[in-house]
């Protein structure tokens, strides 16, 4: 007999299957080995004899495991005698890495995920503010989520928007900006110099994850930060640096495992005391630490190998561009070359076809990458050669289906419609009028469309928006569901003998964005933020859809009595899901005190006040838009 939990979990797996996103572990392949264009072993150090011998010697000397957490003496058994006297394998690796990066100290964690969780949550706590690039790795995102700081996401590489967010958070105790140096899925370089300058202007600090830049970029492979010539956190010699920490993973170019947080000695001492993923984790085995120390010594002198990796990556990107397909037009920053396909199923199929042709590649699908941007993540290594790179490019171009580039521009960026969700603090507060205003504002900037995915009751909000915005039929999308009962979506669906499938809802959004490519899509939700689409044992709230879809947001609230509590609770619920609205609209008779309080407490700018339009007409909405810069929010 199947348990209720198993049935619920099987239903979730079925939803992943329907969306084409279900994953399975790779299995060993028979026959000839595939050419490696998938691993992160950029310099081939995982099989370097010097690294392997160091691990073997430590294994024989100290055994297979470390035995305990570092603070309990884990990893010290049979410690090697280093140049600084007696030191364990981990301490030696830390010293060598800090010297390589010209830093004061480093601390070794068992994995990059744990290192990022530890440093972010240690540097930012309640009363602080975190600012994370939207394309950051999941470990950085989860570090922000697990900290008790207020977290905000800024558009990828958008320093101007970051500065606006920093300015709004000037009351925070500490402001911390989090970024990768070379982004793991796009292979592009963060604007590190501009980020550092923004931190200087706003008294903020910067965490840089060097997972994919270290050992490939900079003098002697010291990373993207060093390549940019920026000051590090070393005290005394460079006291003006806004760099708080760098994270260097051991499982990428160093070819082993684990990860280091590198920075000033006070930071490392605090992590040793307060970073829970370090304090409460068994230390990496001595064999891992010893292999890391050997890899550091090898990689620091591997200028020829890193130059080969960079040259091969540029060669691969150039060869791919010979085909009429969507690829990045900017030269790759390091070893990663993305080939954007678009649809998840087509990406998986292309990956399988390339495996039959002898190439191991990574087929990356949502949620690892944004919806509609599934891609092959192609990675070159010092162990690849020009003939292999050329053959891979030819195989990709020959097998990639033209339809796979649908919705993706030639630079690999999605050209699908940008979705702006209109979120209400309650029902009947004026979301439909606000949506009509937003549709008119969006039209001033280019193509625009409106969609009410779930409509309940006899009235049609789509018809109301059509009248108020004087919308053409091409600007209106039909609701996915229209239930007669005027009630919460889950109740109205049940009364109609139907159900709302979240996976279908998300698929419909994807299709709507595809159909309205290049447009701004205004999406009006039903009722308040936390109303359910699905109830019962596996509920699904409107807010959960937002957390999955990650759209741009406009919050609509009443202007009068009760708005403070409802609005602040709605914002709290959004931010708990790491969602930040772009504007707040107060609808109704002007209430100066409420507006002033929300300007002070809500942390949302801009704030617009919408009057009771009398008469309520398209002309009145257009006149209001002439006096208010609502269209600027949609840029």
- What residues are annotated to the active site? 40, 137, 180, 184, 209, 212, 252
DSSP string for residues in 41-81: -TT-GGG-HHHHHHHHHHHHHH-S---SBGGGTTT-TT--E
Beta bridge partners of 558: 587
| Nearest alpha-carbon partner for 164 in 121, 122, 204 | 204
Measured from the Cβ of residue 626, the count of other Cβ atoms closer than 10 Å reads 7
Measured from the Cβ of residue 205, the count of other Cβ atoms closer than 10 Å reads 19
Matching residue, tokens 């162990």: 383
User: Pairing state of beta strands 374-379 and 418-424?
Assistant: unpaired
| Nearest alpha-carbon partner for 507 in 534, 540, 528, 480 | 480
Instruction: Give yes or no for a contact between 331 and 189, defined as CB atoms under 8 angstroms apart.
Output: no
> E strands within 223-367?
243-249, 259-263, 336-342, 359-364
Name, in order, each residue with C-beta under 8 angstroms of 358's C-beta and a sequence gap of 6 or more.
32, 34, 35
Matching residue, tokens 């996103």: 21
Token pair of 330, please?
A: 């900017």
SS3 317: helix
CA 235/CA 273 separation, integer angstroms: 20
CA 65/CA 284 separation, integer angstroms: 8
CA 40/CA 251 separation, integer angstroms: 7
SS3 309: helix
Token pair of 363, please?
A: 């087929």
Chain centre to alpha carbon of residue 125: 21
Instruction: Give yes or no for a contact between 543 and 449, defined as CB atoms under 8 angstroms apart.
Output: no
CA 34/CA 93 separation, integer angstroms: 32
Query: DSSP secondary-structure letter at 19?
Result: T
Task: Find out whether the peptide bond into 367 is cis, omega within 30 degrees of 0.
Answer: yes
Name, in order, each residue with C-beta under 8 angstroms of 272's C-beta and a sequence gap of 6 or more.
70, 71, 107, 278, 279
Task: Estimate the crossing angle of helix 461-469 against helix 431-443, to 10 degrees.
Answer: 40
């Amino acid at each position: 007999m199947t348990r209720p939990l198993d049935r619920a979990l099987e239903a979730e797996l079925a939803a992943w299957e329907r969306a084409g996103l279900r994953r399975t572990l790779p299995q060993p392949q028979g026959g000839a080995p595939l050419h490696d264009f998938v691993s992160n072993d950029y310099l081939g150090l995982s099989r370097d004899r010097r690294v392997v011998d160091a691990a073997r010697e430590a294994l024989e000397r100290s055994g297979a495991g470390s035995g305990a957490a570092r603070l309990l003496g884990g990893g010290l058994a049979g410690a090697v005698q280093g140049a600084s006297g007696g030191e364990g394998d981990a301490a030696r690796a830390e010293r060598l890495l800090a010297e390589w990066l010209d830093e004061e100290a480093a601390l070794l964690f068992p994995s990059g995920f744990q290192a990022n969780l530890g440093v972010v949550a240690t540097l930012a706590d309640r009363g602080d503010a975190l600012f994370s690039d939207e394309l950051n790795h999941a470990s950085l995102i989860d570090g922000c989520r697990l900290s008790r700081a207020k977290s905000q996401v800024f558009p990828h590489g958008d320093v101007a928007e970051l500065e606006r967010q920093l300015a709004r958070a000037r009351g925070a105790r500490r402001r911390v900006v989090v970024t990768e140096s070379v982004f793991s899925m796009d292979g592009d370089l963060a604007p590190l110099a501009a980020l550092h300058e923004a931190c200087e202007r706003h008294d903020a600090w910067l965490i840089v994850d060097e997972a994919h830049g270290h050992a490939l970029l900079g003098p002697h492979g010291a990373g993207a930060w060093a390549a940019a010539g920026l000051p590090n956190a070393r005290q005394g010699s460079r006291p003006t640096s806004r760099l708080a920490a760098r994270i260097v993973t051991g499982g990428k170019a160093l070819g082993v495992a684990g990860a280091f947080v590198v920075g000033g000695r006070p930071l490392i001492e605090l992590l040793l005391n307060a970073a829970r993923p370090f304090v409460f984790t068994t230390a990496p085995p001595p064999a891992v630490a010893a292999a890391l120390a050997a890899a550091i010594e090898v990689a620091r002198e591997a200028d020829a190998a890193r130059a080969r990796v960079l040259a091969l990556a540029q060669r691969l990107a150039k060869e791919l561009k010979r085909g009429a397909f969507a690829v990045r037009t900017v030269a790759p920053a390091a070893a990663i070359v993305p080939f954007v396909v678009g649809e998840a199923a087509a990406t998986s199929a292309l990956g399988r076809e390339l495996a039959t042709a002898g190439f191991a590649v990574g087929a990356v699908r949502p949620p690892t990458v944004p919806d509609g941007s599934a891609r092959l993540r192609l990675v070159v290594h010092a162990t690849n050669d020009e003939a292999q790179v050329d053959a891979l490019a030819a195989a990709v171009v020959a097998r990639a289906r033209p339809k796979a580039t649908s919705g993706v521009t030639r630079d690999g960026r999605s050209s699908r419609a940008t979705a702006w969700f209109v979120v209400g603090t309650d029902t009947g507060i004026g979301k439909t009028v606000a949506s009509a205003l937003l549709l008119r504002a969006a039209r001033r900037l280019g193509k625009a469309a409106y969609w009410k995915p779930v409509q309940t009751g006899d009235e049609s909000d789509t018809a109301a928006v059509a009248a108020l915005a004087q919308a053409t039929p091409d600007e209106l999308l039909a609701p996915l569901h229209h239930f007669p009962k005027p009630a919460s979506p889950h109740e109205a669906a049940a009364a109609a003998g139907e159900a709302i499938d979240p996976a279908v809802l998300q698929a419909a959004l994807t299709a709507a964005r595809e159909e309205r490519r290049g447009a701004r899509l205004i999406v009006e939700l039903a009722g308040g933020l936390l109303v359910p689409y699905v109830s019962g044992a596996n509920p699904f709230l409107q807010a959960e859809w937002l957390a999955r879809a990650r759209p741009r947001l406009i919050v609509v609230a009443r202007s009068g009595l009760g708005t403070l509590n409802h609005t602040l609770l709605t914002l709290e619920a959004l931010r708990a899901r790491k969602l930040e609205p772009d504007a707040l609209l107060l609808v109704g008779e002007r209430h100066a005190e409420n507006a002033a309080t929300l300007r002070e407490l809500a942390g949302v700018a801009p704030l617009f006040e919408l009057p009771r339009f009398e008469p309520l007409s398209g002309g009145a909405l257009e006149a209001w838009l002439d006096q208010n810069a609502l269209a600027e929010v949609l840029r």
